[in-house]
């Protein structure tokens, strides 16, 4: 037996104010998106904003349903919209955050497992990395690609 380890690389900032203007704008859009979440069952608002290669910003938020599993997370709402309407545009960066009263939460919202898999598929499809920005009041974590958040991923090569 060999004990092995993996390393997760990311950049950490103390505050949203420390980000450059483009990332800050993306965070602001995600906060607005979060404020429009439809989440009457969890009362937990999540916002996502994806920056495309053509400069467009696509936003999403969580959409819940009385039949609970029928809902969808914020980042998948944004990614599916981007991939459905701009299939030729690469997604460069994706902000994910929790929102309350028009502000980012104090804790980051790490994407759920299903969302990581969907981000992975989008990245694989476009053949270029998607930067993932997990933003909160007290901390911002930036991952250069989804591989950092989803090592040992299931992908299309396994289907061949």
Question: Between residues 18 and 106, which has the closer beta carbon with respect to ligand THU?
Answer: 106
Question: Which is catalytic among the residues 25, 64, 75, 99?
Answer: 75
Which residues of the shown chain bind ligand THU in the complex (CB under 6 A)?
A: 39, 42, 44, 46, 62, 64, 71, 73-75, 109, 111-112, 115
Q: Find out whether 132 and 138 touch, Cβ atoms under 8 Å.
A: no
Strands 140-143 and 91-100: unpaired
Question: Between residues 18 and 107, which has the closer beta carbon with respect to ligand THU?
Answer: 107
Question: Between residues 57 and 119, which has the closer beta carbon with respect to ligand THU?
Answer: 119
Strands 91-100 and 131-135: parallel
Residue 63 burial by Cβ neighbours in a 10 Å radius (0-12, 13-18, 19+): middle
Dihedral over Cα of 36, 85, 81, 19: its sign: negative
- Joined together, the tokens standing for residue 119 give 């981000």
Question: Between residues 7 and 134, which has the closer beta carbon with respect to ligand THU?
Answer: 134
Shortest distance (Å) from residue 146 CB to ligand THU: 13
Q: Which residues contact 113 (CB under 8 A, 6 or more apart)?
A: none
Question: Would you call 25 a catalytic residue per the annotation?
Answer: no
126, containing H or E segment: helix 113-126
- Give catalytic residues, as residue numbers: 75
């Amino acid at each position: 037996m060999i004990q092995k380890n993996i390393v997760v690389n990311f950049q950490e900032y103390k505050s949203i104010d420390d980000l450059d203007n483009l990332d800050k704008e993306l965070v602001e859009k995600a906060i607005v998106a979060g404020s429009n979440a439809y989440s009457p069952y969890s009362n937990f608002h999540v916002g996502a904003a994806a920056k495309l290669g053509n400069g467009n910003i696509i936003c999403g938020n969580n959409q819940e349903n009385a039949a609970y599993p029928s809902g969808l997370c914020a980042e998948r709402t944004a990614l599916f919209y981007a991939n459905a309407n701009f299939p030729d545009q690469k997604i460069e960066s994706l902000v994910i955050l929790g929102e309350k009263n028009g502000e980012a939460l104090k804790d980051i919202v790490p994407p759920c497992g299903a969302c990581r898999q969907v981000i992975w598929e989008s990245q694989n499809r476009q053949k270029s990395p998607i930067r993932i920005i997990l933003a909160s009041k007290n901390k911002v974590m930036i991952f250069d690609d989804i591989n950092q958040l989803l090592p040992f991923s299931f992908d299309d090569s396994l289907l061949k």
